[in-house]
Amino acid sequence: MSLHDQLCQLETPVLLLDENRMNRNIARMQKRMDQLGVAFRPHAKTSKCPAVVQRQIAAGARGITVSTLKEAERFHAAGVNDILYAVAIIPSKFEHALRLLRAGLQLTLLVESEAAASQLAQFGIDHGQRFEVLIEVDTDGHRSGIEPEAQRLIEVAKSLRVVSGCGAHLRGVLTHAGSSYSLNTPQALAAMAEQERAGCVRAAQRLRDAGHECAVVSVGSTPTALSATRLDGVTEVRAGVYVFFDLVMSEVGICSQDDIALSVLCTVIGHRQDAGWIITDGGWMSMSRDRGTQKQAHDYGYGLVCNIDGRPVPGVVFNDANQEHGVLAWTGDASVDLEKRFPVGSQFRIVPNHACATGAQHPAYQVLPADGQSLARWDRFSGW
Amino acid sequence: MSLHDQLCQLETPVLLLDENRMNRNIARMQKRMDQLGVAFRPHAKTSKCPAVVQRQIAAGARGITVSTLKEAERFHAAGVNDILYAVAIIPSKFEHALRLLRAGLQLTLLVESEAAASQLAQFGIDHGQRFEVLIEVDTDGHRSGIEPEAQRLIEVAKSLRVVSGCGAHLRGVLTHAGSSYSLNTPQALAAMAEQERAGCVRAAQRLRDAGHECAVVSVGSTPTALSATRLDGVTEVRAGVYVFFDLVMSEVGICSQDDIALSVLCTVIGHRQDAGWIITDGGWMSMSRDRGTQKQAHDYGYGLVCNIDGRPVPGVVFNDANQEHGVLAWTGDASVDLEKRFPVGSQFRIVPNHACATGAQHPAYQVLPADGQSLARWDRFSGW
């Protein structure tokens, strides 16, 4: 059966993954990192899928980044041995981190406060364990972390201590220039990448000047990773959404719509000819409520409406959604008979605003395989 | 260990369910339906949890409503035998519905087009199966369905046919006045409830006048179910979110904040004193991206910030979120030391905008039990 026929038989909504596009995205980023001479540590929060991560590692990634300890646990079980948990650790998660280390995982943790740093060190001493730790640095004011010039940076480093080989050991610094998501010119993106690099390198230098070891200088976001022109002083780069890309990234300007590897297949279930609406079974539960393009130059509503072959359908926009209903609006000639043009049972593929959010609504990817033969199912996980 | 201490030890984020509040919400709705003299068929898409649905049935519900065939399958496996799938059926789902019927489930389907109605009838005839079907009626123009006065209503009914006991049999009509979610006065809500009732009863009457049986007249949404003053001609009411309620419903005016049974427990992981931010591990992945109160009188951002005992925390608002980071803003006196007031490791409970959306982000409820003793875990499912 052709791939097209296999798609037509799927019970919708389902999450589709175009393996060719994903492979291209993986190769593009890895090649860039290789050229810039840094290690690449992809963020697995985007895919939450061992089959995807295995391909990133096969392409050259050295370790991965995660956003939850569940991700660390699942990816370790799938054979990944070098994992950075890139959300500041807190005491209620120390036991979980300890279990993962004792299970053999090379786990690196993140701190951004003296409180967490000193408690983690004490916990390590009490439990005969050495934790490897990065300090979170704030290089763009968008979220958490310590500013490179802040006195607190040195104080947090001092709170990390190792006694008789146990405690919390400073490995380096980490930053994430998340505000790059709101930019959309190559100049602004390159400037933000340099700001991210320079700030993180400066923080590392201050720590070294204060007598601390600081082997790791970890930076990254998908937009800055693809916009940096030099990475002097950086040892590794992290990026997540590049593996699939999405409409937000295409509006930022670092990919084309043809690079986006994810879409949600849905089916027409009815029409409201008077209102100009086509109703589908792909509501917000399948797309997520993420309206990431709302503040960008082009607001795609709940996603870009494409046909089953992945080409945009002129005149149809995805303006509104209920839990299991998509409400697509026909913006073309009002005399068009919508039931005839888009019959009940016909299908659309919706390209998402935000790959991380849309992916999280689904238990698995239906993979359009690189070899063009049969659909494959790759499971993904969710929760904490 | 006290419940408070049990909460403090949870690895966050986790979804909390206050069983007392849920029980009160269930009892309130059931009592109202009993007084109005109609059957009540709760919508299980809100909880996706057999333990919740069992309590609704024990309180008097007759059957349930679902939004996916996976919900039908899971709830049937959990012992529910009477299920209405309230999204218009399409040919690619006929086989799945057939399997459920053959497994013994009393499943009712929905149609809103001649195309689906005639294909379902033919499928039933071809497979020796009789499908029970409702026609979707549009009483408020908010989504799908056929207007009560439309000629198409009769044509769809004619497309449903039974030959030698097999095919598709018209059982009645169904409507959902979803536009009630945008109202906020008792008068407007009562008027919408009456519009919903009158429109659906009128559609049933037209079908009966045309010679069709129409035993079921099914209406409902949480706001209209709690606002209707009479339900003459209606046989059953459906409502979903009432079981937990949420901030959107409290802004609609049909519950108080003290009725809301769901919250997300999260933990402080850091601060940005200069920006006035408290950073938590409860980001949009745990809250969902639903910003349902954005268009209402009070915009709660990503949710209402409460302390671990469920009481609102003055001066803290949940304005921004990343995937696994909540960014809470302190709006009080700028001289307050945020690290001292809200130390790393302290917890918040965030009351959600939209219970259906927030619940869907979690694999289970941690239940604050009615007996006040030990936390319980109730699993919920997701996906299609």
Q: Say whether B144 and A270 touch across the interface (CB within 8 A).
A: yes
CA of A143: which chain B residue's CA is closest?
A: B327
Tell me how close the Cα of B255 comes to any Cα of chain A, in angstroms. 21
Give the N- to C-terminal CA distance of chain B in Å, as an integer. 39
* Domain presence at residue B384: no
pLDDT in tens, A219-262: 999 999 999 999 999 999 999 999 999 999 999 999 999 999 99
- The two tokens of residue A4 are 């097209």
For chain A, give the percent of residues with pLDDT over 90.
97
| CA-closest candidate to residue B280, choices B266, B262, B292, B300 | B266
What is the structure's pLDDT at B122? 98
Q: Which structural domain, as residue segments, surrounds residue B56?
A: 20-243
Specify whether the CB–CB gap between B254 and B185 falls below 8 A. Answer: no
pLDDT of A169 above 90: yes
Average pLDDT over residues B123-146: 97
DSSP code for A277 = E
* Domain presence at residue B250: no
What is the structure's pLDDT at A372? 81
What is the structure's pLDDT at A64? 98
* Domain presence at residue A167: yes
Tell me how close the Cα of B256 comes to any Cα of chain A, in angstroms. 24
- A118 with A236, same domain: the answer is yes
What would the DSSP string read from start to end of A86-114? -S---GGGHHHHHHHHHTT-EEEEEE-SH
Write down the pTM of the prediction.
0.97
pLDDT in tens, A61-76: 999 999 999 999 999 9
* Domain presence at residue B41: yes
What pairing do the DSSP bridges indicate for beta strands A326-330 and A236-237?
A: unpaired
For chain B, give the percent of residues with pLDDT over 90.
97
This model of the complex carries an ipTM of: 0.97
User: Which of B71, B344, B356 to mutate: most A Cβ within 10 Å?
Assistant: B344
What 3-state class would DSSP assign to A372? coil
Residues of A in contact with B324 (CB under 8 A): 45, 67-68, 87
- A322 with A371, same domain: the answer is yes
pLDDT tier for residue B371 given thresholds of 50, 70 and 90? confident
- B216, B243, B270 — which closes off a domain? B243
- B84 with B216, same domain: the answer is yes
| CA-closest candidate to residue A55, choices A32, A87, A78 | A78
- A230 with A84, same domain: the answer is yes
Residues of B in contact with A96 (CB under 8 A): 11
Tell me how close the Cα of B328 comes to any Cα of chain A, in angstroms. 10
What pairing do the DSSP bridges indicate for beta strands B39-40 and B376-379?
A: unpaired
- A183 with A279, same domain: the answer is no
pLDDT in tens, B179-224: 999 999 999 999 999 999 999 999 999 999 999 999 999 999 999 9
Average pLDDT over residues A296-310: 96
Q: Say whether B344 and A90 touch across the interface (CB within 8 A).
A: yes
- A261 with A235, same domain: the answer is no
Residue identified by tokens 């601060």 is B271
Q: Say whether B363 and A357 touch across the interface (CB within 8 A).
A: no
CA of A381: which chain B residue's CA is closest?
A: B363
pLDDT tier for residue B325 given thresholds of 50, 70 and 90? very high
What is the structure's pLDDT at B1? 86
Task: For residues A338 and A316, give the distance between their C-alpha atoms in angstroms, rounded to a whole number.
Answer: 11
What is the structure's pLDDT at A371? 87
- B137 with B158, same domain: the answer is yes
| CA-closest candidate to residue B30, choices B312, B335, B239, B332 | B239
Task: For residues A322 and A284, give the distance between their C-alpha atoms in angstroms, rounded to a whole number.
Answer: 6
Task: For residues B78 and B94, give the distance between their C-alpha atoms in angstroms, rounded to a whole number.
Answer: 22
Task: For residues B111 and B124, give the distance between their C-alpha atoms in angstroms, rounded to a whole number.
Answer: 14
Tell me how close the Cα of A357 comes to any Cα of chain B, in angstroms. 8
Task: For residues A253 and A190, give the distance between their C-alpha atoms in angstroms, rounded to a whole number.
Answer: 12
HSE (side-chain half, CA atoms, 13 Å) at A143: 25
The whole-chain average pLDDT of chain A stands at 97
- B7 with B97, same domain: the answer is no
Average pLDDT over residues A266-292: 97
CA of A70: which chain B residue's CA is closest?
A: B11
* Domain presence at residue A101: yes
**Which residue type occupies B36?**
L
Q: Check which CATH number belongs to the domain holding A150 and give it.
A: 3.20.20.10
pLDDT in tens, A101-143: 999 999 999 999 999 999 999 999 999 999 999 999 999 999 8
Task: For residues B375 and A212, give the distance between their C-alpha atoms in angstroms, rounded to a whole number.
Answer: 44
- B224 with B323, same domain: the answer is no
* Domain presence at residue A295: yes
| CA-closest candidate to residue B216, choices B229, B225, B228, B207 | B207
Instruction: Name the residue facing B88 among A69, A269, A362 (closest C-beta).
Output: A269
What pairing do the DSSP bridges indicate for beta strands B347-351 and B304-306?
A: antiparallel
User: Which of B272, B308, B341 to mutate: most A Cβ within 10 Å?
Assistant: B272
Structurally, how many domains does chain B consist of?
Answer: 2
What is the structure's pLDDT at B348? 98
- B186, B221, B243 — which closes off a domain? B243
pLDDT tier for residue B372 given thresholds of 50, 70 and 90? confident
pLDDT of A1 above 90: no
pLDDT of B148 above 90: yes
Instruction: Name the residue facing B383 among A69, A339, A363 (closest C-beta).
Output: A363
What is the structure's pLDDT at A256? 98
The 3-state secondary structure of chain B reads CCHHHHHHCCCCCEEEEEHHHHHHHHHHHHHHHHHHCCEECCECCCCCCHHHHHHHHHCCCCCEEECCHHHHHHHHHCCCCEEEECCCCCHHHHHHHHHHHHCCCEEEEEECCHHHHHHHHHHHHHHCCEEEEEEEECCCCCCCCECCCCHHHHHHHHHCCEECCEEEEEEEEEECCHHHHHCCCHHHHHHHHHHHHHHHHHHHHHHHHCCCCCCEEEECCHHHHCCCCCCCCCCEECCCHHHCCCHHHHHHCCCCHHHCCEEEEEEEEEEECCCCEEEECCCHHHHCCCCHHHHCCCCCCCCEEECCCCCECCCEEEEEECCCCEEEEECCCCCCCHHHHCCCCCEEEEECCCHHHHHCCCCEEEEECCCCCCCEEEECCCCC
* Domain presence at residue A384: no
- B202 with B324, same domain: the answer is no
Average pLDDT over residues B277-298: 97
CA of A7: which chain B residue's CA is closest?
A: B92
Give the N- to C-terminal CA distance of chain A in Å, as an integer. 39
**Which residue type occupies B21?**
R
- A208, A243, A278 — which closes off a domain? A243
- B218 with B268, same domain: the answer is no
Specify whether the CB–CB gap between A183 and A202 falls below 8 A. Answer: no
Q: Check which CATH number belongs to the domain holding B330 and give it.
A: 2.40.37.20
CA of A9: which chain B residue's CA is closest?
A: B92
- A223 with A262, same domain: the answer is no
pLDDT in tens, A21-48: 999 999 999 999 999 999 999 999 999 9
> Cα-Cα-Cα-Cα dihedral of A61, A67, A71, A72, to 10°?
70
What is the structure's pLDDT at A337? 98
Average pLDDT over residues A170-192: 97
What is the structure's pLDDT at B373? 87
A198-207, A303-312, A368-377 — which is least confidently predicted?
A368-377
Tell me how close the Cα of B215 comes to any Cα of chain A, in angstroms. 24
* Domain presence at residue B110: yes
